A and B are shown apart, each in its own frame.
Chain A
Amino acid sequence: MDKTIRFKLNGKEVAVETSPERKLLWVLRADLGHTGTKYSCGEGYCGACTVLVDGRPTLSCQFPLAKAEGKSVLTIEGLARRGRLHPLQQAFIDHGAVQCGYCSPGMILRAYALLLRKPNPTEAEIADALETNLCRCGCYNRIVAAVRAASQAMKMKVAGHEAR
């Protein structure tokens, strides 16, 4: 049975009329045209589809739409503001933490969730928090360096972003 599910997507109210059992990943990609969130394993093993739901890192390929009702969903499209990159995005560029780029949105969002919870993580804490996210190109060391650099940049509030 289709239902209308309402939630906030990157700060804007959206309403989707569809089966509430469908997974958020497909609703984002196919119904709402937010293709920045990627499918890679479909079973919750790789982290490519990671989004934030009310600030918590969430595997959208496993997350039923019904559970998004009334919540706030952040995808990679919502991270930059008015064309200004978030410090994490900038750090991924500056540290060469991107190769094919397919895992990057999920990686960046899981790192973002970490920084919300822990603004000044050690390298070991970063690696540990991102352990569930796979990067086949092998950018892991650079991703750790990028997240660390972003945490320092955010501390200095250079970009004037605030936690959402």
Chain B
Amino acid sequence: MKPANNKMKDDEYTMFGPNGWGGAPALERREFLKLAGGGLIVIFAVGESLSPQEGARGGYPDDPNAYLKVGPDGRVTCFTGKIEMGQGIHTSLAMMLAEELDVRLEAVDMVMGDTAFCPWDAGTFGSRSTKYFGPPMRQAAAEARGILVRLAAARLGAAEEALATKDGAVYVAKSPGKRATYAELIGGKKIEVRLDVKPPIKHHSKHAVSGKPTLRTDARAKVTGEGKFAGDIRLPGMLYAAILRPPAHGARLKSAATSAAERVPGARVVRDGDLVAVLHDKPDIAAEALGLVEAEFEPSASKLDNATIFAHLKQAAPQGEVVVESGDLDEGAKLAARTVERSYFAHYVAHAPSEPHTAVAQVEGGRATVWASTQSPFRAQQEVARTLGLPEADVRVITPFVGCGFGGKNQGGQIVEAARLAKLAARPVQVAWTRKEEFFNDTFRPAAVYDVRSGLDAAGKIVFWDYKNYHAGSRSSQPVYDIPHKRVLSFGGGWGGGGAGAVRAHPFGTGAWRGPGSNTNIFATECHIDIMAEAAGLDPLSFRLRNLADERMKRVVRAAAERFGRTFAKAPSGHGYGVAITDYLGTYVATMAEAEVDRDKGTVRVRRVVCAQDTGEVINPEGARMQIEGCITMGLGYALAEEIRFKDGRVLDENFDTYETPRFSWLPKIEAVLVDNPDLAPQGCGEPAITTMGAVVANAVYDAIGARLFILPMTPARILEGLKGLR
């Protein structure tokens, strides 16, 4: 098995600001022991004992105690700084642990995103949980199992080599009646054991839990209403906050007359600089009272809207950074028989999580506890500590179930608001953004521009590739094709804005959006590849295979084609077939779609999507399929409808009446094909498939009607405009 690369990609640091992470351990080992209570197994493996390195910001600890605990009842608790927002790691991480420790999946309890108990984690994003957290947790479980075998050898009077483990017990392989359960071996005692060598993790061929399709372990709590989200937390004396918002980004508060709101029985108005909030023990009455606040704001200085944004973005990003450069573009141009030059555009898109940003904060006796809907509890801990002037160790962030994230909950404005208000009010405070606040405060997927120039030789091979993107970010901006002369430049930094020489580009916050950078880079790249295929006189599938050298990618493309079972012809064929492929951070994806276009209304109906994915070793095939299906469904939204409309700093979309997201009637038949590759370490699965959706739909639409759409989303108005251009 190849080791996973544990280093963070540079572009993922950008969202943490210039200082990045740093600082002291979140929790001392002794305090951890105290909090975690009895029934703890203390095992010191290779390396130093009693080191507080676990919990240190910047990496995962070596100490198995940081990841798991075996209770006196034999139940195993898994600790992870990752959170569950629908992606299914509540199940798949438990499967990895159960497999390596040899306990039943049902015996594993998950503690997720609680800064007091869990090993430090940068956050849950980038399809990184299984890929990066999985391996050290597996290793920890293997060590714990090794220690249990050592303890059992003494107890059972057998050599370690003669022992085996299963269902939370160690037994003598040749006489299974001689056994000791993990609970018996540990018995709530604290035991120090040293292992001289790290035990190896199991080969996938020996897996009994991992790799088997498994139902979600969190589903029961969610279908009964028992599962708690941040907004479901109730504390004695808790007040709900309704917060005054400006009408536009950049509009500063001039004055706020709050006396009418204060007269509402039970209402309290609190103010701290620009933060003005009404607190009440009923959330709806707080909101109603906020409506009585008469506020005046300076107008926003922003003069941008959807029509002017693209020209602005190009001039706001004067310098590009080289993502990749090989060969010589001039040499490539000399080899070209045909040159294709096009620009592509993508509008701002909202995360629109089902659960808006929510947090409950309690500040008492110099300590703060926050229940937050967040993807980054440790970052939230840091921000709350900074805001309240507390040491990080005195701030605990607890993450209940999170109702969607998609990158939007890397940002936790509501958490800081709740902490400030709880301190001001000296009462626990819940901040739950309204849907309008969610749209206004969101960090949108950035609008972006792409200029692509490329050349083909007479044999239909791509000879050069000159790619510039503005404000998209660099992820997936490198072509997966075998091209001798290429250069990729990224202007304006990443999805969070900034970058070399950039002036303030976006009129509001932007950030990571499921498959950040990639969705729109793949749209530009894979649409351009289709245009070249047509120029080469080839169908889009043959053209791709001709220009790919990577055998793993070719295998994935062929797997998709086999399931798709249709013959691609040179576009536009009238069939409405599309293809798009990508390598998303090591997960290979090939997506094929069949679409129909209503030429009178301009509407697109995607009938069928086949998505083949090689994501290395698959922990939970059922979970992987669910993620692929979810990606395809959500991807239809940014492909066909989702676009934040804005003007002069105002966000015009405030709810789902105008901001359309996919619903039942949109749904195509979706077929996910998991391409078997268990010898490759597990790769990410939560995002890869969505990144092909803009391109595959655009290519299917072109194949159907012969109109090429260069702007995302492909709304009916843009389709009709494209059709008009054909006449």
The answer to whether residues A45 and B656 also contact, given A138-B634, A140-B664 and a CB cut-off of 8 A, is: yes
**Complex: A52 Cα to B391 Cα, angstroms:** 48
**Complex: A27 Cα to B402 Cα, angstroms:** 23
Q: Which residue of A lies closest to B228 (CB)?
A: A35
Of the candidates A42, A43, A98, A141, which one forms a contact with B222 in the assembled complex, judged by CB atoms under 8 Å apart? Answer: A98
**Complex: A63 Cα to B582 Cα, angstroms:** 47
- Does B596 sit within 8 A of A, measured CB to CB? no
Q: Which A residues, 7 to 54, have Cβ-Cβ distances below 8 Å to chain B?
A: 18-19, 22-23, 26, 29-31, 33-43, 45-46, 48
- Does A101 sit within 8 A of B, measured CB to CB? yes
**Complex: A36 Cα to B403 Cα, angstroms:** 13
Instruction: Tell me if B222 and A101 are in contact (CB < 8 A).
Output: yes
Residues of B within 8 A of A80 (CB): 224
Q: How far is the CB of A149 from chain B (nearest CB, A)?
A: 13
- Does B458 sit within 8 A of A, measured CB to CB? no
**Complex: A73 Cα to B554 Cα, angstroms:** 56
The answer to whether residues A134 and B355 also contact, given A41-B435, A96-B626, A127-B667 and a CB cut-off of 8 A, is: no
Q: Which residue of A lies closest to B631 (CB)?
A: A138
The answer to whether residues A127 and B282 also contact, given A93-B220, A96-B216, A139-B630 and a CB cut-off of 8 A, is: no
Instruction: Tell me if B355 and A102 are in contact (CB < 8 A).
Output: yes
Instruction: Tell me if B633 and A101 are in contact (CB < 8 A).
Output: no
The 20 sampled A-B contact pairs (Cβ below 8 Å) are: A29-B232, A31-B282, A40-B435, A42-B435, A75-B225, A79-B224, A96-B626, A99-B87, A100-B354, A104-B222, A104-B223, A127-B664, A133-B663, A134-B661, A136-B353, A136-B354, A138-B630, A138-B632, A141-B633, A143-B664
Residues of A within 8 A of B665 (CB): 127-128, 131
- Does B85 sit within 8 A of A, measured CB to CB? yes
- Does B240 sit within 8 A of A, measured CB to CB? yes
Among B229, B403, B669, find the residue whose CB has the most chain A CB atoms closer than 10 A. Answer: B403
Q: Which residues of A contact B (CB under 8 A)?
A: 18-19, 22-23, 26, 29-31, 33-43, 45-46, 48, 75-77, 79-80, 85, 89, 92-94, 96, 98-105, 108, 127-128, 130-131, 133-144
Number of residue pairs across A and B with beta carbons under 8 Å? 182
**Complex: A59 Cα to B218 Cα, angstroms:** 26
Q: How far is the CB of A38 from chain B (nearest CB, A)?
A: 7
Instruction: Tell me if B403 and A102 are in contact (CB < 8 A).
Output: yes
**Complex: A76 Cα to B232 Cα, angstroms:** 14
Residues of B within 8 A of A96 (CB): 215-216, 219, 622, 625-626
Of the candidates B218, B225, B622, which one forms a contact with A77 in the assembled complex, judged by CB atoms under 8 Å apart? Answer: B225
**Complex: A133 Cα to B511 Cα, angstroms:** 27
Q: How far is the CB of A2 from chain B (nearest CB, A)?
A: 10
Contact with A along B344-367 (1 / 0, CB 8 A): 000000001111100000000000
Among B88, B224, B281, B404, find the residue whose CB has the most chain A CB atoms closer than 10 A. Answer: B224
Instruction: Tell me if A144 and B355 are in contact (CB < 8 A).
Output: no
Q: How far is the CB of B249 from chain A (nearest CB, A)?
A: 22
- Does B670 sit within 8 A of A, measured CB to CB? yes
Q: How far is the CB of A127 from chain B (nearest CB, A)?
A: 4
- Does B657 sit within 8 A of A, measured CB to CB? yes
**Complex: A139 Cα to B655 Cα, angstroms:** 21
Q: How far is the CB of A150 from chain B (nearest CB, A)?
A: 11
- Does B247 sit within 8 A of A, measured CB to CB? no
Residues of A within 8 A of B656 (CB): 41, 45-46, 134
Q: How far is the CB of A71 from chain B (nearest CB, A)?
A: 20
The answer to whether residues A39 and B661 also contact, given A98-B216, A98-B219, A138-B633 and a CB cut-off of 8 A, is: no
**Complex: A103 Cα to B228 Cα, angstroms:** 13
